[in-house]
Amino acid sequence: MTIAQIISSDGYIHAIRGKKKATDIVNAQFYFPHVSDYIQGSIREKKPFIFSARSGNAQIGIKMDRVSSDEVPVLEGSRVFLEGQIQNLNPLLKNVLELFKKGDEIGRIAILDPELRINDVRHYLHKRLFVGRKVDKGYYDGFEIHEETDPHTGKTCDYISVELEPYQYLFEPEAINISSINSVIKKGRSALSKIRSRIQIDLNKKSLKKRDLFIGAIKISLGDIIGVVDTIVEPENKNIEHLPARILDPFRTFRDRQVELYNSGDQEISLAKIKVRIRFFRTNNPLTVPLEKIKIKNGYRLYDLLTTSEIYTLFNSIEKDSLGIILNKGNFIQIPRATDSKGEAQIEIIKNSIFKSTFRKPRESSPVNLGCEYEKTLKKLSALGGVNSRIFIGHEFPTPAVIDALRRSGLRTFLIATHNPIFKDDYVKKMINLTHTQHSGCEFLRYDSGIDKLYTFYHGSFMEPDDKVRFDKVRYWFAFYGSHTKEADNKLTIDLLKRLAETFGNEMGIVHGGGPGLMKESNDIARQYNIMSIGVAIDLEGENQQSLTTCDGLIKYKEGLRLARQDHIQKLSNLSIINTGGYGSAEELFISITSMKLHENPLAPVILLDPNGLWENARQQIIKISQKNYGPQFIPNLIKPCRNAKEAIEELSQFLSHPDKWYENNKIPLENIDQARLKSIRIRKELLYQDFVEIFDKPTE
C-alpha cells in the first residue's frame, strides 16, 4: 500500500468575517493552497480529518477551529476553503483578535485516514517511539496503552494516554504588549520566550481551575509516524479540552511537546490526574538515512540528513553581495550586506530578512536555476526538528550581535563554509554557552570545502559529528606540553603516549597546542591508536608555528590570546605531562601547578619527563616557595620527575589505581583534595558544560 502524506502544507486566513456578538470570537475563512491529490481525494471521499491550528497561537491561548464538527471543506481545484473561528481564551491578551489579518498562517489539515492508523503501537514503542520519562535503558514511564474500536474500520486499535511533565509556562503580564503578541502571531513559537517563563511545579499540589488555561508539556519523541492529540483529555467527564494544535510531526517532535489545556467545565481538577490522549498514523518518510533511536530521541540535525556534497550545494544559493541566507522550510531569504557590516544598519537589515523568512506565502520560494537535486535536498531538510529547521548559511562566522539577532527570531543552526577559522576568547565562550545550555540549543557547523568535511562545535572545539560519541567516552584527558622546535627530543613523550594508549584505550584522550613539533607527533600517535586528540591552537604563523588541521577536535584562538588558550587546555585536561621544552613549556608547567594551587584543577601528579635534569632547578624553586610558605606545602609533592616512560607509567598507575592511597602517601591534605574536586567540577560544568568530569574519587578498574 502506498503511504501518503496525510498533512497539508500551511494554511492562511483568507477572510475575516466579523466578530460574534457578545463573544470573544471572530469568524474567518481559512485557505489551504495547492493541497495534494491524495488530500483532495480524501476530502471528496469524506474521510475523517482535523484542522490543526498553529502551535504558537495555541500556546498564547488562541483557539482556532472549525465553526462546527460538521463543517465540510470546499474544494476549488487544488485549493481548500474552510469556514472557521478564532477565539481568545487568555484574559491577559485582551484585544488580541484585532491583530489577526488576512494572510496570517493558521495551521494545517490532516487526514485521519483509517487505513493508515497504527493498530498496535507496541511495535513502534520498541522501534521508534519514545514516550514519558526514562526510568531504565529502553524503558519509559508516564504513559499507558489503551484499546478502542475504530468507528470507521471496526478494528481494535491502540491509543496512549500521557501524563504531564512537572513544569508549566507562565505568562509575564508586564512583558505582554501589542508588539510581543503580534510577533507570536506572525513568527510563531520563536517569539514566545519574550512573554513567558518556564517554572517547575508539583502536579499533586496544583489544580486546573474552571475557565483556566494551562500551558504544560509531555515527553514524546517520534520516528517516521504522526501522532494526533485528541481534544478530549482524561478524565473525560471534566470538560477539559486540548486546544487544536494537535499534530505531532514525525522527526520534528523530540522529547518535550507543549500541550495547551483549557478547563471549560465548572470544577477544578488536580494536574496529576490529567492525561493527554494520542493516536498514531503512518506517513511517508522524507529521509534516505536509516532510523536510529538516539537521533529520533534527540532530534535529527543537518548532518544526519545530508551528504557533504549536498551541503556544498547549499552555498551556491548565496548571492555575491549577501551576508548569508536564512533557510526556513524551503524558503531562502538573502540577507543583504550593509556597507558597514558591523553597524546598527546591518542588524536592522537582518531583522527585516528574518521577518521575510517567517512570513509564509501561499507558494514557498526557493532558489532559481539550482535543479531538481536541490529540491531533493530541501525535501530532506523538511525532517529537521523544531528550531533546527531554520538555518543561517554564510561564508564567515557572524558577529555576536548578528548571532543574537538571529537567535532571538528562533534560529538556532549556523552553517559556515570556512577553512581553519580563528576566534576571540569571548566568541569561543559564547559558542560553548549557546551550544550546550538547554534554553538555547544552538548548533555551530563548519564546512571545509578543501577537504570536503563537515564539523560541529562540541564542548569547545570543532569535530566531526560522529566524534562526539568518542569525546564523551574519554575519562582521562592528558595535556601534553613540550617544545615545537627541532632541537627538542620528543621520543620520550611518544614512548609514553604509546604505552598510555595501550593501557587506557578510548578512555583516554589528549589535549595539546594544535601546532608543530611535539604537538604534531602526539596527534599522529593518537590517530594511529584511535584515541581522541583535541588541538587548542593559536594564530602563531608569524612565529613559524602553523596549526594542525588533522586533530579530531580543533579550536584556534586569535594572536595574543595565549593565556585564554592555555586556560582552555587546563579546563579540558585533568592530567599534565611536561616534556623537555623551552620558555612556553615552563610557563605551562607553572600555570598547571597554579591551577591546582587555586583548586581549579583536580589534584593529580604533574609528570615531568626529564631524563637530563632540565626541570630540576624549577622543581627546587617550587620546593623553596613551599618552605617559605609562599605557597601551599602540598604542591611540591604533586611534581613527579621521571627519567623514562616506564617511570611515568608506574607513577600514573599508582595514582589512578588507588587515588586516595596515593594522596595519603604523598601527604596531600584531605581538605585540599575535596575542595579541588568540588571546585573543578563546578568550573568545568560552568565553562565547558561537560556532563561528566573526572575528579579521581574512584580507582581505575
**Average pLDDT, integer, range 513-541:** 86
Which residues, 6+ apart, have CB-to-CB distance to 373 below 8 Å? 310, 313
Strands (E), 283-362: 322-328, 331-336
Residue that wins the pLDDT comparison between 383 and 69: 69
The vertex-481 CA angle with 480 and 487, nearest 5°, equals: 120
User: What are the boundaries of each domain within the chain?
Assistant: 1-115, 117-166+201-289, 301-458, 471-687
The vertex-593 CA angle with 589 and 595, nearest 5°, equals: 115
Neighbours of 45 (CB within 10 A): 9
Q: What is the pLDDT of residue 370?
A: 63
Q: What is the pLDDT of residue 385?
A: 67
**Average pLDDT, integer, range 190-206:** 90
Is 80 exceeded by the pLDDT of residue 373?
no
- According to CATH, the topology of domain 471-687 is Rossmann fold (3.40.50)
User: Which range (183-187, 357-361, 495-499) has the least confidence?
Assistant: 357-361
The β-bridge partners of 509 are 477, 532
Q: What is the pLDDT of residue 317?
A: 84
Sign of the torsion formed by the C-alpha atoms of 496, 497, 498 and 502: positive
Which residues, 6+ apart, have CB-to-CB distance to 663 below 8 Å? 603, 670, 673
Which residues, 6+ apart, have CB-to-CB distance to 203 below 8 Å? 163, 164, 166, 270, 271, 272
Rounded to 10°, the helix 425-436/562-572 angle is 30
pLDDT digits (tens, 9 = 90+) for 117-169: 999 998 888 777 889 888 887 788 999 999 999 999 999 999 999 999 999 99
- According to CATH, the topology of domain 1-115 is Elongation Factor Tu (Ef-tu); domain 3 (2.40.30)
* Residues 438 and 416: beta-carbon distance below 8 Å: no
Q: What is the pLDDT of residue 1?
A: 46
* Confidence band of 345 (pLDDT split at 50, 70, 90): very high
* Confidence band of 359 (pLDDT split at 50, 70, 90): low
Q: Mean pLDDT score of the chain, rounded to an integer? A: 88
CATH 1.10.10 fits 301-458, yes or no: no
The reply to whether omega before 398 is within 30° of 0 (cis) is no
pLDDT digits (tens, 9 = 90+) for 241-273: 999 999 998 888 887 899 999 999 989 999 999
* Residues 447 and 397: beta-carbon distance below 8 Å: no
The vertex-505 CA angle with 500 and 506, nearest 5°, equals: 125
Q: What is the pLDDT of residue 439?
A: 67
Superfamily of domain 117-166+201-289 in CATH is Deoxyuridine triphosphatase (dUTPase) (2.70.40.10)
Q: What is the pLDDT of residue 219?
A: 93
**Average pLDDT, integer, range 672-687:** 94
The β-bridge partners of 219 are 256
Q: What is the CA radius of gyration of the chain?
A: 30
